[in-house]
Structure 1
Amino acid sequence: MIAPGPTQYQMVFCDIDGTLLDSTNRISPETGQKVRELDRIGVPFILVSARMPSAIFPLQRELGIKAPVVCYSGALILDEHGEPVKTVGIDREKAVRIEEFVNKEWKGVCCSAYCNRDWIAGNVHDKWIVQEQSITASVPKEGGISDFVPQGGQVHKLLCMGEAEAIADLAVALGKRFSGLSVYRSKDTYLEIMDGAVSKSGAVRYLCKLYGIPPQATVSFGDNFNDIDMLLATGACFAMGNAPPEVKRQAQNVTADNDHEGVLAGLKQLSFVKKRI
């Protein structure tokens, strides 16, 4: 539970899928109202996700708030105007080698790439791409990394989608074949691949420094393994009720699940600094 005392929190970091969004990919009206209340008193509510910018900003507009957003789990941070303030990517040549490896050795796995605001897919009609498009409302460009990323450029994320067993095996294979990567499963069927320096906790530290807010005065919400480092980086944290047991074990608090307004329930337990009315 939240430790007793007069702590007043100054910033919120919130994962999107499985956390802010319910199982129908919606934000409850009551949660949205609470987020707007925080925005009005000057408490930044930071959306943190493995999603690309075009799949995050519509949610921010729906909430009616202005704040930086953390894309690709921290590989790209954009300010409230959509301008990049931090970017960490995989070198284009290395990303092409990963793409070629997956396409050649893992025929049943769909590999796509993200660079800044572009989503690049070899086959935009692949069932996995169509599924992801329906979830995020993002539109992919058809082709390979070398078609869209210039020489000397970077890729912020590669996403591999496939059956759970193949994805588990691919995660192991990539770890053996390539060094300096962050490779994790965001779902049993999704494998996220980014530069090894990328983390949600790194984004927390960066934005705390930018705002001059100590990490101890921030709170975070998450539901999966890739959220653990973020949860441990903030002064207070909540694992969602739908999170795996290991995530709940490491979190300071466990709130309701994403279908029962877990974010709202957690926010109601906290006191926040009023910076403006």
Structure 2
Amino acid sequence: MPYKIAFFDIDGTLLDEEKQIPQDTIDAIRDLQASGVPAVIATGRAPYFFAPIAEQLGIDSYVSLNGAYVVYKGEAIYRRPIPREDVEILVNHASTNSHTLVFEGHDSFYRNTESHPHVFNSVASLRVAQPGFDPNFWQNEDVYQIFLHCTADEEHLYASANPGLRFIRWHDTAMDVLTNDGSKAQGIKALLKLLNIAPEEAVAFGDGLNDKEMLEVVGLGIAMGNSVEELKPYANYITTDVSDSGIRNGLVHAGLIK
């Protein structure tokens, strides 16, 4: 089947362990774009976390915040904030457990405590600026995703705390919090509907737990060689590592570049 669009996760997919885009990946994306097939970012990151990456690759369309905020050619076409009542429940529960939250809007993000090493360490791992401080941000602005800062052995405290939310670990001290049915797949489907492209005509690349639904919804789901093992059973194809021409080899397998 001739594929018409390709979606790319960022961390561990477009970016290597040093948070750099390998030159071979840059060249492969440019070859894809030259063929007329659009490249779209699909990430758990907020837009302000990856603007330089998108600019470097010449990409102006993205599925961000794990599918909750979608932009096509610079224009927002889909928004799915977390219901405020669900945020309030989590705020109260996290406060009881003395866990810090970071609220992510579409253009800014704020923590609800003055400072915390878990916040600093997790955000620093993304190599982006630290969040501001505004414990009331969620009351005044739409929140598309939340960082909940706790360790793996504390996750059980949230297992049944709020059935409207789901939790996906991305750091030793942090989890993404999104709507219970939220995923990159939801944002991808919204963009494909706008473009009149069938899911079977799309390719997606990923490496983490939050890529599972994305790889399942498209016609060709490609897991990076460096993917977490739990993701690989959901892929149609496993390419090489991000630092070993993983993107190029996956695009060649898909028949999108030579």
Q: TM-score, length-normalised on structure 2? A: 0.90
Question: Does the aligned pair in 1 maintain the 2:68–2:80 contact within 8 Å?
Answer: yes
Instruction: Provide the secondary structure at the position in 1 that maps to 2:70.
Output: strand
Aligned counterpart in structure 2 of residue 221 of structure 1, from 197, 205, 220: 205
Structure 2 counterpart SS, 1:34:
helix
Change (3 A) 1:76 1:136: farther
How far residue 95 of structure 1 moved from its aligned partner, in angstroms, is 0.9
Q: 1:185-231 CA deviation, whole Å, 9 max, x = no partner? A: 23443211111232111122111111122211111111122211110
Instruction: Summarize deviations over 1:148-207 as a string: whole Å, max 9, x none.
Output: 642xx53111111233322x32xxx33412122222223443211111232111122111
Q: Does 1:143 align with 2:134?
A: yes
Structure 2 stretches of 5 or more lacking a match?
Answer: none
Partner of 2:145: 157
Taking the aligned partners of 2:53 and 2:71, their CA distance within structure 1 comes to 15
Deviations 1:31-66 (A, max 9, x none): 111112222332111111111111122111011233
Q: Distance in 2 between matches of 1:261 and 1:123?
A: 42
Q: CA deviation at 1:116?
A: 1.8
Residue identity opposite 1:178 in structure 2: N
Residues 18 and 258, structure 1, Cα contact 8 Å, conserved in 2: yes
Give the alignment's Cα RMSD to 1 decimal: 2.0
Contact 2:183 2:213 in 1 (8 A): yes
Aligned to 2:78: 86
What is the aligned partner in structure 2 of residue 202 from structure 1? 186
Contact 1:111–1:161 at 8 Å: present in 2 too?
yes
Correspondence 1:74 to 2:64: no
Aligned residues: 256
The correspondence of residues 95-134 of structure 1 with structure 2, limited to 5 A, is: 95-105=87-97, 107=98, 109-123=99-113, 125-134=115-124
Structure 1 alignment gaps of length 5 or more = 1-6
Query: What is the letter of the counterpart of residue 45 of structure 1?
Result: A
- Give the Cα–Cα distance (whole angstroms) in 1 for the partners of residues 208 and 114 of structure 2: 28
| Partner Cα distance (1:76, 1:258) in 2 | 26
Secondary structure, counterpart of 1:90 in structure 2: coil
Normalising by structure 1, report the TM-score.
0.85
Q: Partner letter of residue 269 of structure 1? A: H
Counterpart of 1:184 in structure 2 is 168
TM-aligned CA distance change 1:200 to 1:11, over 3 Å: same
DSSP-derived class of the 1:17 partner: coil
Shift of 1:239: 1.1
CA contact (8 A) 2:41 2:59 kept: no
Moved over 6 A (4+): none
In structure 1, distance between residues paired with 2:94 and 2:139:
18
Letter aligned with residue 149 of structure 2? M
Aligned: 1:270 with 2:215: no
CA contact (8 A) 1:14 1:221 kept: yes
Tell me if the contact between 2:201 and 2:218 (Cα under 8 Å) persists in the aligned partners. yes
Structure 1 position 258 matched with structure 2 position 242 = yes
Amino acid at match of 1:55: F
Alpha-carbon distance change, 180 to 261 in structure 1, aligned in 2, over 3 angstroms: same
> Does the residue aligned with 1:8 lie in a helix, a strand or coil?
coil
Cα distance, 1:269 vs. partner?
Answer: 1.7
> Sequence identity of aligned pairs in percent?
26
